[in-house]
Structure 1
Amino acid sequence: MTSNDPRDLDGKNLQNAMQTLGRNPALRARMIALLRECEGQVACTGAVRDEVVGPIIDALHLDSDEYEKVLADGTRFQFLYRTKIARDFLLAEVEHPTHVWEPQTTKLLLELGRDLQGDVLVGGAYFGDQAVLVARQLAGHGLRVHCFEPNPQQARMLQRNIDINHLGNAVVNVAGLWHRSGEHMRLDGFDSFANMVAAQDGSGFDTVAMDDYAQRLGLRVGLIQLDIEGAELAALQGAQQVLARDKPHVVFELHRHYVDWSHGLRATPLCQLLLNLGYTIFAVRDINSHREMPGQPVELVPLDTVYLEGPPHGFNMLAVADPARVQGGAFRIVEGVSPKLLPHKAAQLHHPVGGF
């Protein structure tokens, strides 16, 4: 028997209803504006964005929906509505924000870019949320940003963002960084969450080892950034000549889904690789979202003092050959705290010094 109770809508019907509303751009924009306004008024023990507002906004969209936003410095970004990177950027609290994603990591990359002596290699460049800003900073300094993005849709969006910002010093490689060049891989998973696995057919992409790439192009490397869903170790194994010769700064993600840190971060193969090459390693305190944090220095947690408790999570790390590089007003060294900045969690562990 069919119920006439409107509360009997199942999840699929509700999803279809929300997507139908979302096909009207004007209505969608009004709904997003209302939901943004509601964020500060909803009583929730968890993260309101992730648990209440975000899922409703996600339901309004298709993966093919596109947006454009302009940053405060005039940088233009066009992006597909996929994952919370796009969602949280869309929900920026100001019309022209200072960044796209992860405010403190973005600050870190731009600070490191101030005095680079070599090119930048970015693994998992996505639509250019951070790589485009680094390329813009380095434009006119004779340095290039070499982007590796195996997702063809995001690689096309990355190239578009390079083009609309007139960046002649950025290069897009539709390839994945790995310990050996010429392997054939494919992405397993959705968009920014996808990880590389061996491809058994003709689909997919080829891998590149950074050592081979740098040798082929005659590069000196000043900075490596990696956010490649568990392939960070393999990528750095393919860059040991570059690491030993050029001593670039390395910014990389470490995630509990891919890395066993039950014996501490120092014992992980990834950290061991860098420590054996003479690097000093810190965790980078950041919020896995878009949030304006003006005037906040980049907080770094020494390797052996990182608070790691909690559900499986990931965060960015910084490895530097010379720890003096992170002294000064742009940085703050803090111990015994979590790298995860979480406004809804305990302040002593998850808030920056001095608060948000």
Structure 2
Amino acid sequence: MAQEKALIALERIAGDEAWRSAFIRELIAFEDAIDAPGVDVREEITGPLVDALFDGDQVIRKTLSTGVTFEFLYRSKIARDFVMSTPEAPDHAWEPQTSRILVNLAKHAKQVVVGGAYFGDHAVLIAREIAPRGGVVHAFEPNNQQRAMLARNAELNGLTNIRPRPEGLWSDSSTNLKLVGYDSFASVEVAEAGAEDGFKTVTIADYLKAQGVDKLDLIVVDIEGAELGALKGAEPFLAMPAGQAPDILFEVHRHYVDWSNGLEATEIARLLTGHGYHLFALRDFNSNYDLSGKPIELIPADAIHLEGPPHGFNMVAVKDPKVFETSEYKIVRDVSPKLLRHKDPKLHHPVGGL
């Protein structure tokens, strides 16, 4: 009976936008007020309560402090943590330091490829940065509904330089794939030709050749294990010298990458270092978290704390590491790239503190 009453109460709160907003603010205040070392309060307590206020087909609109507006479906941790942002108008939608470094790397870019563009949480920020120079973001998102949200967000922000694409980035342009899993957690597997939920693959090199693009400035790939294949499909660009080769941001995850012998020994790291890239792990929250004013912390590939349960994080590959010799960046060693509020501060908080 008590559980039924609790569900009815949550339904009433969900049905009134003002009540819902006030309830979410109180939950965020609760997170800040309690001391629970080792407990992920967001994932175990407050997050599920907020999830109960929304359904997966609900479109939410939220505006950043920069004026960028996003519409998105409430279908993922990305959506939930964006809804629960502090401040209410944050400077990013997802992953604060990833968002910042991508805008930085885009400052001199014109041609950008984004694999796993989702609803545009990063692609829109990049497109906004490169638009004055006539830059183009080639945004690959096989999920039809999220690709539609990407196009909608381009429209909302007056951006005409995003090219939404349905293909999957891969090491060849002749494979059929399908998404397996739900929304942002979906990975890819090979599908039969003509499968109803399938999609074609394309290499970055083949796609850009067809577009008449011979110089690529930035690659961003977060495609749940397909990163290696996508980068293999871009090798003609990776082989270019410093100053001409693209900068790269990509995700690695223990489910897809065997780093038991060290990250430098992985195939994806060897591919990139073989082409002259320097690799760094990017320390970031897999969330929406206010890190404004904090330097972007980077860990050299040979000094990353990798222990812990299966997890993933973003890495940056550049041919000229001097680009990080500014006050906006800090090179750190022997810490985890996973920033986690509830874990050991020495390993999982920014070096300067939260």
Tell me, which stretches of 5 or more residues in structure 1 are unaligned? 1-5
Q: 1:236 aligns with which of 193, 214, 231?
A: 231
Q: 2:212 aligns with which of 213, 218, 232?
A: 218
Do structure 1's residue 56 and structure 2's residue 49 form an aligned pair? Answer: yes
Q: Distance in 1 between matches of 2:302 and 2:315?
A: 13
Aligned 1:135-214 pairs, distance under 5 A: 135-200=127-192, 201-214=195-208
Contact 1:256–1:312 (8 Å) recurs in 2: yes
Q: 1:81 aligns with which of 68, 74, 83?
A: 74
- Tell me the residue number matched to 2:59: 66
Q: Distance in 2 between matches of 1:194 and 1:119?
A: 27
Q: Distance in 1 between matches of 2:9 and 2:261?
A: 48
Q: Distance in 1 between matches of 2:226 and 2:343?
A: 30
Of stretches 94-103 and 127-136 in structure 1, the one that deviates more from structure 2 is 94-103
Cα offsets for 1:176-231 (capped at 9, x unmatched): 11111132211000101100112232322111110101111122110000100000
Residues 325 and 81 from structure 1, CA distance in 2 versus in 1: closer, same or farther, beyond 3 angstroms?
same
Cα offsets for 1:229-265 (capped at 9, x unmatched): 0000011111111211341000000000111100000
Q: CA deviation at 1:16?
A: 8.2
- Tell me the residue number matched to 1:132: 124
Aligned 1:80-119 pairs, distance under 5 A: 80-116=73-109, 118-119=110-111
SS in 2 for 1:55: helix
Q: Distance in 1 between matches of 2:314 and 2:216?
A: 20
Q: Distance in 2 between matches of 1:122 and 1:31?
A: 36
Match for 1:281: what amino acid? L
Percent identity of equivalent pairs = 47
Q: CA deviation at 1:21?
A: 5.1
SS in 1 for 2:54: coil
- Tell me the residue number matched to 1:267: 265
Of stretches 44-53 and 148-157 in structure 1, the one that deviates more from structure 2 is 44-53
- Tell me the residue number matched to 2:317: 319
Contact 2:167–2:202 (8 Å) recurs in 1: yes
Contact 1:20–1:60 (8 Å) recurs in 2: no
Q: CA deviation at 1:25?
A: 3.5
Q: Distance in 1 between matches of 2:7 and 2:264?
A: 45
Q: CA deviation at 1:20?
A: 6.8
Residues 18 and 185 from structure 1, CA distance in 2 versus in 1: closer, same or farther, beyond 3 angstroms?
farther
Q: Distance in 1 between matches of 2:329 and 2:108?
A: 15
Q: CA deviation at 1:7?
A: 4.8
Q: CA deviation at 1:43?
A: 4.3
Q: Distance in 1 between matches of 2:70 and 2:96?
A: 16
Match for 2:169: what amino acid? L
Tell me, which stretches of 5 or more residues in structure 2 are unaligned? none
Q: Distance in 2 between matches of 1:347 and 1:26?
A: 36
Please report the TM-score for the alignment, with normalisation by the length of structure 1. Answer: 0.93
Of stretches 123-132 and 213-222 in structure 1, the one that deviates more from structure 2 is 213-222
Please report the TM-score for the alignment, with normalisation by the length of structure 2. Answer: 0.93
Total equivalences in the alignment: 347
Do structure 1's residue 309 and structure 2's residue 304 form an aligned pair? Answer: no
Q: 1:276 aligns with which of 274, 277, 297?
A: 274
Instruction: Detail structure 1 runs of 4+ shifted over 6 Å in the superposition.
Output: 13-17
Match for 1:37: what amino acid? A
Q: Distance in 2 between matches of 1:14 and 1:158?
A: 36
Q: CA deviation at 1:324?
A: 1.2
